[in-house]
Structure 1
Amino acid sequence: MAGFHNPHLPVRDDWLAQQAEEAIDPGLPIIDPHHHLWDVARPRYLLDELLADTRGGHNILATVFVECRAMYRAGGPEPMRPLGETAFVAGVAAMAESGLYGPTRACAGIVGHADLRLGHAVREVLEAQLVTGGGRFRGIRHITAWDASPETRSTTIIPPPGLMSDAAFQQGFSELEPLGLSFDAWLYHPQLPELIALARRFPGTRIILDHLGGPLGVGPYRREESFAPWRDSIRELARCPNVAVKLGGLAMRTHGNAFHERPAPPSSADMADAWRPWMETCIEAFGPDRCMFESNFPVDKGMTGYTALWNAFKRLASGASPGEKAALFHDTAARIYNIKGEA
């Protein structure tokens, strides 16, 4: 991966080792609906590393892999190269399903990539992804996160502005619903109006908003000033019944938290206090049946460990009813990504 630039915070195992928390409510069933796997040109995070995190005391029953440009095919037609990532992850899922690595069904759902700018021609790629995924392929993510400030960069690619309004992109988007595929949306909060328009134009396509809609707190943005416009857009987006939201990703640098600059990692209580306004706004707007907590690992591992992260989520949900907790930690993800199995 020549020229690869990693925009994520480095993972410092010695720093994270200072963060020793026991899992809160360790029996609560969890599906982690958002993590990545990668190797070359990035610090290794494959099945062993994922399971080392999920074995930290929480009851992680299954996970969903989300595309990250890992293991693309080195040759062949450009549009088909993302199938290499799906084949790689399907193999990891098969390993986890063997039971040899413990009870967690890693990568039980796969969200891959297809270039929607291909227009209707993307149908061939999507159909090939479904075959390659071996029954686990659930949808695609085509990153649209763009901002004029280079300080907001959080991905390895820079999409063009206004991508969700592009005619070819929307043609490609129209191919998702007939195949029963969903769309994971990764963008920044000033782009939420674009996603609202897209969700209204395609009401039959299931859309999952990643990382609470990317509220920015770096570069020209201040976290406190971003809150009101972000909140207003979130409330409007929640009026679209085809949209669900992932609650996480706030341990990324772009949110403006500086936990990684502390001499020791933040406690779960620290994180819950810092994130509460954003999390509670989304849960109030969408309801627990359209919200799901996510780890976003290993990206968020630059600021926190896995056990403390899920403790923070459990602190945030401490006032919820048993049914609401079940939705936030397991049931919504199971329904949205069609993850079968007993909780």
Structure 2
Amino acid sequence: MTEEILEPDLPIIDPHHHLWDLRALVGMFPEPHHPFIAAIAPHAHYTFDQLHAHMTSGHNIVATVFMECGAFYNAAYGDALKVVGEVEYVNGVAAQSASGLYGPARYCAAIVGHADLSRGAAAGEVLDALAAASPRFRGIRHAAAWDKDASVLGAPFHHPEGLYRDATFREGFAELGKRGLTFDAWLLEPQLPDVIDLARAFPDQPICLDHVGTPVGLGSYKGTLHERFDEWRRNIRELAKCENVVVKLGGLAMAFCALPEDGPCAGHSSEHLAALWRPYIETCIEAFGPTRAMFESNYPVDYWGADYAVLWNAFKRLARSASAEEKAALFAGTAARFYEIEDVLA
């Protein structure tokens, strides 16, 4: 769907996108195997050219933040350190962008990698190697998405139950604070108490909740979004009491959420998407405030339900009543501060 770009001059930092080559992974599964596979299949190869095409689709994207996705690992470094390969690769993309040959936007101005925190204190050496791989490295994400219904996530995306409460994981988690690094948390809506407990246990550790906590509309949760909304909202309000936590406003076009149910990229308008997402986005902004919330694309995963340009139009519709100062925070300022890239707004 093609739409006129709303507020085309509004500066945007896209704080959550991926770069990958998942053609081998997608080839392992028939497309109908799981909606997530169907969603990423059109963009199984998503590297600089595809990123650049989306970032120049009409909105004023001034910078982006790369989010780990298990891509471009370097097996030659060994099992624990292979994750460094992803940061090395993305740092090259960032350097390509910083050359200015592709326009003024700074792609991957901040890089969020991965380290296995369940290794306990030994994760510290991996964090140090990641930091040495790029001056743009800011922190890690260690996802914890789990559900007793394995069909919700599918085998490649299923993590151990109760990971954020595990003592050895928390020993590794403590290594982040020693180095001043950020943490991105991804888990599913029924698991929100786990990240609340983690945030309370480490009140000085900056944590970002990805994808508004990922409401679930697949598998055994199909058709239950409405009845589970009050519990999601209660947990979001409780998490927002933790001043060390910020929230990403997006990810709702993922297949997991079923908002919309049909995809990939079914051609929904920004008006329709804004209406679907409004209860979640407005609840998060009310709970966290604009200075602790940031809109995100989660591309190319959110291609399931939204074209890149349409997605940002939907966010702009959702922020229509916000003041200029509030919009500046929601679309760029919060991300710039959390990931320490304020210079891109200078």
Gaps in structure 2 of 5+ consecutive residues = 27-43
Which whole-Å deviations, capped at 9, do the CAs of 1:38-79 have from their partners, x for residues lacking one? 124252111110110111110000000000001001223211
Cα pair 1:216 1:226 within 8 Å, conserved: no
Cα pair 2:268 2:306 within 8 Å, conserved: yes
Distance 1:155 1:258, change over 3 A: farther
Matching residue of 1:275: 277
Matching residue of 2:166: 166
Matching residue of 1:103: 104
- Per the TM alignment, residue 109 of structure 1 is displaced from its structure 2 partner at its CA by 0.4
Question: Aligned partner of 2:204: which letter?
Answer: G
* Aligned pairs (5 A) from 1:18-33: 19-33=1-15
Question: Aligned partner of 1:342: which letter?
Answer: L
Matching residue of 2:117: 116
Q: For 2:90 and 2:176, how far apart are their aligned partners in 1?
A: 21
Q: For 1:29 and 1:186, how far apart are their aligned partners in 2?
A: 26
Q: For 2:187 and 2:246, how far apart are their aligned partners in 1?
A: 14
Query: CA-atom RMSD, angstroms?
Result: 1.4
Distance 1:159 1:262, change over 3 A: closer
Three-state SS of the structure 2 residue aligned to 1:310 is helix
Matching residue of 2:16: 34
Question: Aligned partner of 2:307: which letter?
Answer: G
Q: For 1:262 and 1:110, how far apart are their aligned partners in 2?
A: 27
Matching residue of 2:128: 127
More off after superposition, 156-165 vs 91-100: 156-165
Distance 1:241 1:55, change over 3 A: same
TM-score, L = length of structure 1: 0.92
Kindly indicate which of the two structures has a greater share of residues assigned to helix. 2
1:290 partnered with 2:292: yes
More off after superposition, 27-36 vs 263-272: 263-272
Cα pair 2:5 2:58 within 8 Å, conserved: yes
- Per the TM alignment, residue 259 of structure 1 is displaced from its structure 2 partner at its CA by 5.0
Q: For 2:260 and 2:173, how far apart are their aligned partners in 1?
A: 36
More off after superposition, 122-131 vs 35-44: 35-44
- Per the TM alignment, residue 315 of structure 1 is displaced from its structure 2 partner at its CA by 0.1
Question: Aligned partner of 2:267: which letter?
Answer: P
Matching residue of 1:13: none
Matching residue of 1:341: 344
Distance 1:263 1:169, change over 3 A: closer
Question: Aligned partner of 1:32: which letter?
Answer: D
Question: Aligned partner of 2:80: which letter?
Answer: P
Matching residue of 2:40: none
Question: Aligned partner of 2:207: which letter?
Answer: I
Q: State the number of aligned residues.
A: 324
More off after superposition, 233-242 vs 66-75: 66-75
Matching residue of 1:147: 147
Matching residue of 1:50: 51
Question: Aligned partner of 1:281: which letter?
Answer: T
Question: Aligned partner of 2:94: which letter?
Answer: A
Q: For 2:78 and 2:110, how far apart are their aligned partners in 1?
A: 25
TM-score, L = length of structure 2: 0.91
Cα pair 2:265 2:303 within 8 Å, conserved: no
Gaps in structure 1 of 5+ consecutive residues = 1-18
Q: For 1:322 and 1:263, how far apart are their aligned partners in 2?
A: 31
Q: For 2:160 and 2:214, how far apart are their aligned partners in 1?
A: 17
1:313 partnered with 2:315: yes
Matching residue of 2:38: none
Cα pair 2:15 2:64 within 8 Å, conserved: yes
Which whole-Å deviations, capped at 9, do the CAs of 1:264-318 have from their partners, x for residues lacking one? 5100000001100000000000000000000000000122111000000000000
Cα pair 1:63 1:106 within 8 Å, conserved: yes
Q: For 1:259 and 1:158, how far apart are their aligned partners in 2?
A: 21
1:187 partnered with 2:190: no
Which whole-Å deviations, capped at 9, do the CAs of 1:212-267 have from their partners, x for residues lacking one? 01111222221111211100000000000000000000001111223535995100
Question: Aligned partner of 1:165: which letter?
Answer: R
Q: For 2:260 and 2:176, how far apart are their aligned partners in 1?
A: 38
Q: For 1:155 and 1:205, how far apart are their aligned partners in 2?
A: 30
Cα pair 1:154 1:254 within 8 Å, conserved: no
Distance 1:154 1:225, change over 3 A: farther
Distance 1:45 1:155, change over 3 A: farther
Three-state SS of the structure 1 residue aligned to 2:345 is coil
* Aligned pairs (5 A) from 1:4-19: 19=1
Cα pair 2:150 2:158 within 8 Å, conserved: no
* Aligned pairs (5 A) from 1:180-329: 180-221=180-221, 222-261=224-263, 264-329=266-331
Cα pair 1:115 1:122 within 8 Å, conserved: yes
- Per the TM alignment, residue 155 of structure 1 is displaced from its structure 2 partner at its CA by 7.7
